[in-house]
Structure 1
C-alpha cells in the first residue's frame, strides 16, 4: 500500500479539561499516513501528594504505535514513582521534591521505562520494531519542567512572544552525531545509519545493542533533555506538538496562529482542530498531534477580532463568487484554480499561516456555489457495483472527456432523463442524446448513465 493513503483521514480525537489554574485542549489526526502512531497524555492533578501538579505530553511513534501507546499510559508513573524523584521524602511526610530531584527523577524515569519495555516479548524478539519521541511539560505551582526526547517540540508563549523552545534531537546535530559515530554508527542523508530520522527516542531497540556502551551512549539514546523554568504572571500558553505540525509551521507562526484563534473562541479543542487542519492544507503528510495548555493570562475572546475575521470571510466569499461567475465558456473552475488565484492576491488581514488558515471557509463557499462539482474521490474499498461509485465514475469520465463543457452536457442529460421518467418509460432507459446544437465536440459517454435508485 505504501506509506501514504490515497486520501487523508481527517477525523480527529479531541479532549479538554481544566484544573490547577490551567485549561487544556488537544487534537490528533491521522492525516495521510496509513496508520495513526501518535499518542498523548493530559493529567491535571498527579496522585500521591502532587495534586497541584500537572503533566502533558505528546508521543510521536514510528514503525508502529506500541511504544507510543505504552508511554502515554505509564511514563508519568515511571517518573514520579522512582527513588530519585522521591528522594526528598521521608517516612510519613509529603515534602515537595526539589528542582534537582525532579530533573533527576525525569531522567531516571525515561531510562527505566525504556529498559522495562525492552523486555516485552514482541519488542525483544524483533516482531515489533517501534519507537517513539516524547515531548512533555511537568508543571508545579512554581516551576515548569520541559522534557524532550526526539524531534517533537514544546514552546512557551509569554508576554506576547515565544519565550522558550525545546531543541530537536536530529542525527546531524554535532553532539548527536558524535555519539552516533562513537557507537560505531554513521549519519547518512541526515538519518542514523541512513534510516532513522531522530537521534533520541524510546524503543527502537535495533539501535540500542552496541556492546560496551551504556544506554545513553547508544546509536539512539532514550535520555531526555530537561529544562527548568520559573513560572511567571506573563505566561500565556504552552504548545506541545509532533513534527507533523512543526514541519510546516515555525515556532513564531504557530504561536501567532494560536493567539489569533484564541481571540475568536475559548473552545480549546476547536483551536487545536484549526491548527491540524491548517497544517494539513499547508502540506503536512504526517500524523499530527497538538496539546495546548493555557494559563489564566492567555489571550481572551475579542469582539474586535471576531468582527475583523467575519469581514475577511465576507471578502473571501465575494472574491470566490467573482472568480466563479467570470469563468465563462471555460466552465466552472476547480477549487485548486480558485486557490491559485486567491494566493496570488494581496488579501488583507489573513491569519498567521496564510490562506491555508482559511481553507475551510473557501471550500464551504466553493461547494455552495458549485453544487455540481466533481466528487474528489471515495474512501478506498467502495466497490464499482455500488450506485454511488458508478455515479462518481461517470462524473469523472464526463469531466475528462468533455473538459470545459461537462456541466452543460450533464444538465442536458439529466433533463432528458427526467422527461423519460415523467413519460412513464422504464427507469433503465437511457436519456436522449443532447441536441445537435451542443458545443460539445464528442458527446459520447462510456457506458450508460447511472440508474435511479
Structure 2
C-alpha cells in the first residue's frame, strides 16, 4: 500500500539529451511517498554497433527500490546481449546496416526480461526474502525504422502521432481476464483487485514471493516477468513518445497527457521544463504516488509558436490579476489562503487554460502571486513547487496495446 508523508517532497531529478534525430527530457519527484522507488533509463546510441538505436524506460518500484534501480542499470544489456536480439540464433545472415527482423527483436526483448529476472533471483537479499521489492517496467526501443513498445506492469507508454494518441501499452492488472486466469492456474486468487489480496500488478520484475509455485515456468507464476512487446513502423507524423509510472496516469488519461504536452511544447523548447510541469500538475491534480515521466520528442514534435507564447503570457497576467482582485475583495476576513483562491478560480470560465492540465497546471502562477502579497503561508498546499527551467538535482484509461 505504501505510507505517506505529512507534506510532499517536491525536489526533482531532471535530465535531457538528444541524438539520432530525437530529443528527450525527464523528471521525477518523490511526492507524498515516504521513499522514492522510481528509476529510469535514457540511452541514445546502443552498444554493439547499434549507434542509430535508442532506449528509454521508466521503472516503478514497490516494497523497495532495489529491483527498480538494478533494472535501470542492467535491463538494456540483458536485452541487447541476448542471441535472439542480435539474430545470432541460426537465422539468415543480414547485410550491413540491415535491421533484424521484427520478431527477432521482440523475441530478444522478452528473453532479456526473463534473463534479468532470473539473474536477480540469485541475489542473496532477494533470494532469502530480506528484500521483497519488485518493479514494473515500461520502455520504448527506437530503431531507424521501428518503435518497439515494451511493458511489464502498470506503468504506461503512449505514442502521439499527428496530434492524436496512436498507440498505448496495456496495464497488467490482476483483474484482467488473461492475468486472472494465470494467477488462478498457479493456485492464487484475486481479491480487492490484487494478487492474493496484496500486490496491485500482475506482471513485474522481482517480487519473488509470487514466483515460487512448483511445476510452473517463469511466465506461469502468480506474477509474470514477461513483457508485452508491440511494434509499429515509424512515420513522419510521429510527434513524441511519453513514458510514465502510474503516479502520472492515476490523475491524467492518455489523451489529457498528450494534449497537455503538445500545448507545453508550443510554449517551451526546454523539455526538462515540460516534464517538470507534467509532474507538478499531477501533484496538484491529487497524485499521491512517486511520479516519473520521460518525454521523447521526434522530428515532427510541436514547435514553439509566437501565438502560443503570447496566449500563455496573457493567461498568466490574467490569473495574476484575478488573484489580486480576490485578495482585495476579501475585506475584513483577512487575506485568503491559496486553497480559497483556487476554489474561487475553479468556478470561473477561464479562457486558454492548458488542455489536459487546466487550472492545476497554473498553481505556480497563482501561488507566486499570492505569496507576493503576504508573508503568511497558505493553510494548505504549503509546499507548492516552483517551476524548474534548468536541470537540477487512477483515472480514465484508454485501451491498451491498441492502435487508434
- TM-score of the superposed pair, with normalisation by structure 1: 0.81
Query: How far did 1:96 drift?
Result: 3.4
Larger RCO (CA within 8 A; separation ≥ 6): 2
Match of 1:371 among 354, 375, 386: 375
Pair 1:186-2:189 in alignment: yes
Q: Distance in 2 between matches of 1:375 and 1:247?
A: 25
Q: Distance in 1 between matches of 2:58 and 2:285?
A: 21
Pair 1:260-2:263 in alignment: yes
Match of 1:100 among 98, 103, 122: 103
Question: For 1:223-372, what aligned pairs fall within 5 Å after superposition?
Answer: 223-352=226-355, 353-372=357-376
Pick closer, same or farther for the CA change 1:349–1:225 going to 2, 3 Å: same
Query: How far did 1:98 drift?
Result: 1.5
Q: Could you list the per-position Cα deviations for residues 412-432 of structure 1 after superposition, in whole angstroms to 9, with x for gaps in the alignment?
A: xxxxxxxxxxxxxxxxxxxxx
Query: How far did 1:332 drift?
Result: 1.1
Q: Distance in 1 between matches of 2:72 and 2:52?
A: 20
Query: How far did 1:213 drift?
Result: 0.6
Q: Distance in 2 between matches of 1:196 and 1:23?
A: 35
Q: Distance in 1 between matches of 2:323 and 2:245?
A: 34
Alpha-carbon RMSD across the aligned residues, in angstroms, is 1.7
Larger Rg: 1
Q: Could you list the runs of 5+ residues in structure 1 that have no partner in the other structure?
A: 380-453
8 Å CA contact 1:185–1:192 kept in 2: the answer is: yes
8 Å CA contact 2:67–2:134 kept in 1: the answer is: yes
Pick closer, same or farther for the CA change 1:41–1:93 going to 2, 3 Å: same
8 Å CA contact 1:282–1:356 kept in 2: the answer is: yes
8 Å CA contact 2:337–2:380 kept in 1: the answer is: no
Pair 1:28-2:31 in alignment: no
Query: How far did 1:375 drift?
Result: 7.7
SS at match of 1:168: coil
Q: Could you list the runs of 5+ residues in structure 2 that have no partner in the other structure?
A: 384-404
Q: Distance in 1 between matches of 2:238 and 2:382?
A: 45
Pair 1:75-2:75 in alignment: yes
Query: How far did 1:371 drift?
Result: 2.7
Q: Distance in 2 between matches of 1:105 and 1:46?
A: 15
Moved more, 91-100 or 337-346: 91-100
Pick closer, same or farther for the CA change 1:91–1:333 going to 2, 3 Å: closer
Q: Distance in 1 between matches of 2:97 and 2:66?
A: 34
Match of 2:130 among 122, 127, 132: 127
Query: How far did 1:239 drift?
Result: 0.1
